[in-house]
Each structure stands twice: as C-alpha cells, then as structure tokens.
A and B are shown apart, each in its own frame.
Chain A
Amino acid sequence: MLTIRNLRTGYGKVQILRGIDMSVAEGRIVALLGGNGTGKSTLLKAVSGLLPVWSGSIEFNGEEIRNRKPNVIVRRGLTQVTQGKDMYPAMTVEENLRIGAYTRSDKAGVVADMNKVFDYFPVLGERRRQLAATLSGGEVQMLVIGRGLMANPKLIMLDEPSSALAPRVLLDIFSIVNRINRNEGITILLVEQNVRMALLLAEYGYVIRDGVIHIEGDARDLINDDNVRLAYLGGTVADAGAELAH
C-alpha cells in the first residue's frame, strides 16, 4: 500500500534521512521505532507532503506521491496525525472533527463517521460543543485521532499517540487503535517510543537509526531482540555500555 524507497531529506542543508526503505502492507499495523531525534516525525512529514523530499520515491496505492502537496495527498486517503496534539483550541470539538472531513462532500458519510468517532471515544460526544482548549491531554489525543478518522483514510500515520499519557489512558488509546484497524480496515503506521506496546500491537516493525532503517522484522521477533533495545536507546557508547553491564 505504501512503499518508500531510498528516501533522503532534511531541513535546510542538514540531512536527517539518508535513504529510508520501508513498506506498509494493506490492512496491517506497522510500527516505526527509534530514539528521540532519529527522524521518525521527519519521515512522516516527508510522506504527508509537509516536508520537501530530496530524492527517492514514495508510492501510495501504486501512485508516486513524492512532493505532492499535503492537501492533495490527504485526498488520496493518506492521513497524518501529528505528534504535537495539534488541535484547534478555539474551535469546538465538533468543529475540530468537521475540519478533519474538509476534503469530503458526502454529507451523510461525514455524519455517520462523526457518530462512529463518538462510538470509539464517547467522551468526545459528551464534549462536542465544548472548546477543544478545555479538553485534557488524553481527550486531545482522542480528538486528533478522531479527526484523522473523519477524513475517511485508507492509511493513517499516528505519531506517538502515547506520549505524555497516563498508563490507563494509554491502554485505552492502544486498544482503540487496534479496533480501528480491525473494524474499519484502516492500515496504520504507528510511530512509538513505547516499544513494547507498539510491537505487541503491530505485525511488523522498523527501527530507524542514523537516518536509515537499522533493523526490521516481524514484531514478535523484534520484541525479543536485544539489538532493538540497543538501537532504541539512541546508540551512544555510554548508553550501550550501561545497558550491557545491566
């Protein structure tokens, strides 16, 4: 469904991604792991069109989407839920969801999908007329995932949905992500720092390091792989030493 080949990009003159190769098969949950600042969000921005790509290719459903505008890429069915929990605080919960459906003209479908979002996240239904600024951190995460669903995507890229959440809420979010994948047939690319959870949920995983895919494999194998833990730590000698001594 999504195939990335030899992708290179960065900010200004600073290169961050040095040739990423990965693919996401239809209907799956695929995890993308890596330490802080390794370029996970950068990769998502390149795929969704926010960041210009220097070279390589990004194929979505057989179509080359490299350097297409973000508003065009969303219409193809590829949605990104950003890491920053970027909701619109001065809009109501309902308006936030409606802007998620901006590309759609099927009014009935939009209403149906909004009800579906309220089924997954009942608290959003209760707060639908409230300003998004009044939501808690966990509720905001639910809102941005719900807003992503409103676009009726084929593939949704979730950037660290678990960050800064209490363990209870985190479990809720992960189980809903799983249900969305099962029930709606939406393919999910899950970027996570919570390695264990992500690998329990995903079927396949990639670990990014130094701008390339360092390790990849079936989630079950990765979960037992010491290298994953090492790579995940960010790879400084001190870190590795501490981990080995442990």
Chain B
Amino acid sequence: MDLLLDFIIVGLSIGIVYGLVALGISLIFSGLDIVHFAHGEVYMIGAFLGIAIVSISGVPYFGALVGAMIVTGAVGVVIERVFYRRLTRGGGGYTVAGMGMIICGFGMSVALQNVAYLIWGAAPHPYPVSFGMPIFLGNIALPKSYLYILVSALVLMAVLHTFLTRTKLGLAVRAVAYNKDTSYLMGVNVPAMISLIFGVACAMAAVAGVLIGPINYVQIEMGYLMLLKAFAAAVVGGFGSLPGALLGGVVVGLFETLCAGYLIASYKDIYAFLLLITVLMVRPTGLLGIIVKVKA
C-alpha cells in the first residue's frame, strides 16, 4: 500500500514534467503549425542554465527556476527569429514551410546538443542543491523535490490559464493559434505573437528541466528520451490541446512508473510507447483531442 502511494506520487511528478514539455510542443504546434523536434534539447539547455544560475552564490532554487525560464525563453525567441523564420520567407508562413521546418528542427536539435557539449561537456552533472530531509508520509520518505514539482507545475498552470483566458494578450495568442491572416487583420502583431508563443513554450521546457534536475542527473543527451516521452504525452492527450498535453503527461508518467514498479523495471521506457500505441488504436484523436481545425 505504501509502495503504491509512493509510485503514484513519483509517477504523478514525472508525468507533470512530461506534461510541461508536451505543453510546449502543443503550444508550438497550435501557434506555429510545426512539430518542434528540438524541444527536448531546449529542455536540456534549460536544465543546464538552471545549474549555472543556482551555482551563482546566493541564488535560491526557485530563483534558478525563474531565471532559467527567462533565459531559455529568450534563447527560444532568438532561435525562432534567426533560424526558423528564415524558412518562411517564401511566403505562406509556417504552415507552408512544413517539411523544411521539420528538418530544420532536427538540425537544431543536433546543433544545440553540440553547443551544450562544448560548454558543459559530456559528463552527467549532479544538481548542486539540497532540499534537506525528505517528508515522511507514514512509512514512506518522499524527497521534497517531488513536492516542488507538484507545486511549481500547479502554479505555472494557473498562471498560463489565466493569461490565455483573462488577458487581451492571451486572447491574441489564441487568435493567432487559430488563424494568422484573420488575426493580422484584427490588428494583432502576428510575427511578435509567434515569437511570444515560441518563447513561452521554451520557458516551459526549462521549468521541466530545472524541476527534474535534482531527481536525475543533468546531461547533454537527456533531451532525446524526454522528447519521445513528451511527444507520447501530447499524442495521448490529444495533439494541440493544452489541457490534453498535461493530462497525457500525467497518464504516461503514472502508467510507466506503475508498470516499472510492478512489472519489469528495466523495460521502463517501453511502457510509454505501449500506451501510445494502445491509445492511438482505441482513440486516434487522443484523450482530449477534438478536431477543431484541419492542418494543412
């Protein structure tokens, strides 16, 4: 019983982290009409930036979280402006640039990994923070980082939801996600909004990286598996749906932790994809997927 509770809390936390990365992928997909294959590397860069910031003496863990968000968001905006947007010069915007954009995403993923290698090397880095004693729930000892993951993610969700539904800028972001030409005619600065969407998505990935840092080591290859898991989460939840991305993350996280706990632990990374295949067979649009728009 204690074991089950332990698995659930761990699975939930890991799942929320998947969900945060998946949320960014979904946000970029709905806003830019592209599947961003370098998002795992953005998450990795975010995690390293978190270490770099927390290593500055006097900066607390949550300071590093916010700092990594801001810097990674800015890096994202630069990537979008300098590299991806070039591909849309032929006209028609991101939707038309489709295939080239996917290849460019793969290239960016390799490039970011190499940049990270040059700066931080190939060795795994432990996270230089200590949260003190774990919390005891009955017989189980729960490291505080799981608590931090739950709290940070909830706060972030609330902020993002309020932004999208209650503010004028959030309304514009949703408008751009649905139809760029119409939104341009409404007076929305569409190119700026695209940068904003991309930056926010990258900031989310950074949060995931900083949150998972204290649980796992941080290393330059961590992005690849995360991308696959987050992708599975996004598809399970319903691609392009923001609540779906988070739900998908939690479902994937819980499922793989429980399976690894009670079945064969060494197959941990396979369970997510078993789930993915099952969901696609039973419900191809994902759990919360509704076809609200037809992608070109």
A residues sitting closer than 8 Å to B (CB atoms) are 12, 48-50, 69-71, 74-75, 79-80, 82, 86, 88-91, 95, 98-100, 102-103, 147, 151
Contacts and interface: CB of A to CB of B under 8 A. Distances in A.
Nearest to A105: B168
Nearest to A88: B178
Chain B's interface size range is: 10 to 19
B175 interface: yes
Interface of B, secondary structure class, is: helix
Contacts, number: 62
A151 B184 contact: no
A176 to B, nearest CB: 21
Contacts of B190: 71
B72 to A, nearest CB: 28
B168 A48 contact: no
B174 A79 contact: no
Contacts of B187: 70-71, 74-75, 102-103, 151
Contact of B179 (A86, A103, A147): A86
Contacts of A151: 186-187
B173 to A, nearest CB: 11
Contacts of A74: 185-187
A202 B190 CA distance: 34
22 contacts: A50-B181, A50-B185, A69-B184, A69-B189, A70-B184, A70-B187, A71-B188, A71-B189, A71-B190, A74-B185, A75-B187, A82-B181, A88-B175, A88-B182, A90-B174, A91-B171, A95-B171, A99-B175, A100-B186, A102-B186, A102-B187, A151-B186
Given A50-B184, A71-B188, A74-B187, 10 more contacts: A69-B184, A69-B189, A71-B189, A88-B182, A99-B171, A99-B175, A99-B188, A102-B172, A147-B186, A151-B186
